[in-house]
Structure 1
Amino acid sequence: MEFAPHNRLEEVLTLAASEPAHRPEFFSELLEATVYVLGHSEEDDASGESSLQAGNGLQLQHWEKPDGHSAIPFFSSLEALQLAVTDEQAFLALPVRTLFDLTRGATLFLNPKLPYGKEFLPQEIEHLLSGEGSSLVQQHILDGGTELKIGIPAEMPAQMIDSLTQLFSKHRNVKRAFLAQIQEPDDDQPHLLIGLDADGDDLEALIQAAGSVATDTQPDDRPIDLCLVSNEQAGISHFLIRHTTPFYERKWGSFLREFKGSGQA
Structure 2
Amino acid sequence: MTTPNFADDTQGRELENLLMLAMNEPAQRPAFYRTLLESTVLVLTDNTAPQGEVVLEAGSPLSLQVWEKQDGTRALPFFTSLAALQRAIEGEHPFLALPARVLFEMTQGTELFLNPKNEYGKEFTAQEVALLLQDGGVNKPQERVVEAGHEYLIGQPEHYPAAMVDALTTLFSQRKPVRRAFLALIHDKAHDEQPNLLVGLEVEGATEQEIEDLIQEAGSVASEALGDNEAVDFCLVSEKERGISHYLIQHTQPFYQRRWGSWLRNIIPSSGIA
Q: TM-score, normalised by structure 1?
A: 0.50
Structure of higher RCO (CA pairs closer than 8 Å, 6+ residues apart): 1
Specify which structure has the higher proportion of helix.
2
Structure number with larger C-alpha Rg: 2
